[in-house]
């Protein structure tokens, strides 16, 4: 007998209706109804009687509830046992993170986690999209967003602020001459495009980059000014803020696939990184000056 069919049967029996069971299991009404008819055909008995108030168990249905209850307890016991076996963090852990963070402020944190949990093989991947996590190509994603996907389990771990930066030499010359600043064209993400458009519209740029690490490098060369995360701009001795205070904030999330919410190495990584990121919150928020 298929346990998944019994699980659907229990949901209908406990709720007293097909629609109640479907809602509990987040399935279509037609799917649950079809599964119940199939189960009755396979067993050769009627499990429910249709009554005005919903569905009422027959004698055979009541006996099956007792057996299914017992099977459910066994399944939960096995699940708890297997989850407990994974208490010691070990094995492979695939983490995808934003490139500008992974190569700068997060790298010492990754190294610290690896030293503290030597049995975990940490595989780092640079990605700015959710696809790798949703398709189980990664176990954990570190993302900047104010609207995390509902399909993932998330923990907000901090705020990342951005401000306008330029090279110290360029800004000194700019202020001395009283000239208008030259803006870089940046096409790295929707956030950056929107923020830049709010400030200076759609004017044509003569120097365009599509990544924040390229933006930082171009600013160092005195190519103009641009919006940059404070954890990059404030920590670069060759850059300075064009204006204070930071104007743009994004939430920083650690996201997990729901299937991994009990995995010890995933939870250990989440908790370690949460502590490490929160310890550096002033840097992320541009409050170190």
pLDDT over 90 (residue 190): no
- Mark which of 49, 84, 119 sits at the end of a domain: 84
Residues 284, 231: contact at Cβ < 8 Å?
A: yes
| Residues 105 and 235 placed together within one structural domain of the fold | yes
Q: Which of 153, 130, 135, 123 is nearest to 255 (CA)?
A: 153
Q: Grade residue 71 by pLDDT with cuts at 50, 70 and 90.
A: confident
Q: Grade residue 186 by pLDDT with cuts at 50, 70 and 90.
A: confident
| Residues 167 and 282 placed together within one structural domain of the fold | yes
pLDDT over 60 (residue 90): yes
- Mark which of 55, 84, 113 sits at the end of a domain: 84
Angle at 65 between CA 61 and CA 67, to 5 degrees: 115
Tens of pLDDT, residue by residue over 257-271, are 777 878 889 999 999
pLDDT over 80 (residue 249): yes
pLDDT at 246: 75
| Residues 161 and 64 placed together within one structural domain of the fold | no
| Residues 64 and 95 placed together within one structural domain of the fold | no
Range list of H helices, the chain: 3-15, 18-25, 29-43, 59-84, 99-102, 107-116, 131-134, 168-177, 190-200, 212-220, 230-233, 264-279, 281-284
Average pLDDT on 204-210 reads 76
Which domain range does residue 264 map to?
89-289
| Residues 50 and 172 placed together within one structural domain of the fold | no
Q: What's the CATH number where 106 sits?
A: 3.40.190.290
pLDDT at 2: 76
pLDDT at 220: 93
Least confident residue range of 40-49, 84-93, 123-132, 152-161: 123-132
pLDDT at 169: 94
Strands (E), 117-152: 120-126, 140-144
- Mark which of 43, 63, 84 sits at the end of a domain: 84
| Residues 101 and 75 placed together within one structural domain of the fold | no
| Residues 130 and 101 placed together within one structural domain of the fold | yes
| Residues 65 and 100 placed together within one structural domain of the fold | no
Tens of pLDDT, residue by residue over 146-173, are 887 777 788 899 999 999 999 999 999 9
Structural domain count of the chain: 2
| Residues 176 and 93 placed together within one structural domain of the fold | yes
pLDDT at 155: 85
The token duo for 128 is 């700015």
Average pLDDT on 213-226 reads 91
| Residues 75 and 171 placed together within one structural domain of the fold | no
């Amino acid at each position: 007998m298929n346990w998944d069919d019994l699980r659907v049967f229990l949901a209908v029996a406990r709720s007293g209706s097909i629609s109640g069971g479907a809602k509990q299991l987040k399935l279509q009404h037609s799917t649950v109804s079809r599964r119940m008819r199939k189960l009755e055909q396979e067993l050769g008995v009627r499990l429910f009687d249709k009554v005005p108030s919903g569905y009422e168990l027959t004698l055979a249905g009541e006996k099956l509830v007792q057996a299914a209850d017992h099977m459910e307890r066994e399944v939960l016991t096995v699940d708890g046992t297997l989850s407990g076996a994974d208490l010691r963090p070990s094995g492979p852990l695939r983490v995808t993170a934003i490139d500008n963070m992974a190569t700068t402020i997060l790298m010492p944190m990754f190294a610290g986690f690896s030293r503290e949990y030597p049995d975990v093989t940490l595989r780092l991947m640079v990605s700015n999209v959710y696809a790798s996590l949703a398709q189980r190509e990664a176990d954990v994603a570190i993302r900047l967003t104010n609207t995390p996907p509902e399909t993932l389990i998330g923990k907000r771990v901090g705020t990342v602020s951005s401000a306008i930066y330029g090279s110290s030499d360029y800004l000194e010359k700019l202020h001395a001459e009283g000239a208008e600043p030259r803006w870089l064209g940046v096409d790295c993400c929707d956030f950056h495009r929107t923020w830049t458009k709010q400030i200076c519209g759609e004017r044509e740029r003569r120097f365009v980059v599509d990544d924040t690490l390229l933006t930082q490098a171009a600013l160092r060369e005195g190519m103009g000014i641009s919006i940059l995360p404070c954890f990059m701009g404030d920590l670069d001795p060759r850059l300075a803020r064009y204006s204070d205070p930071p104007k743009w904030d994004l939430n920083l999330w650690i996201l997990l696939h729901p299937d991994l919410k009990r995995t010890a190495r995933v939870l250990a990584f989440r908790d370690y990184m949460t502590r490490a990121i929160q310890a550096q919150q002033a840097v992320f928020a541009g409050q170190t000056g």
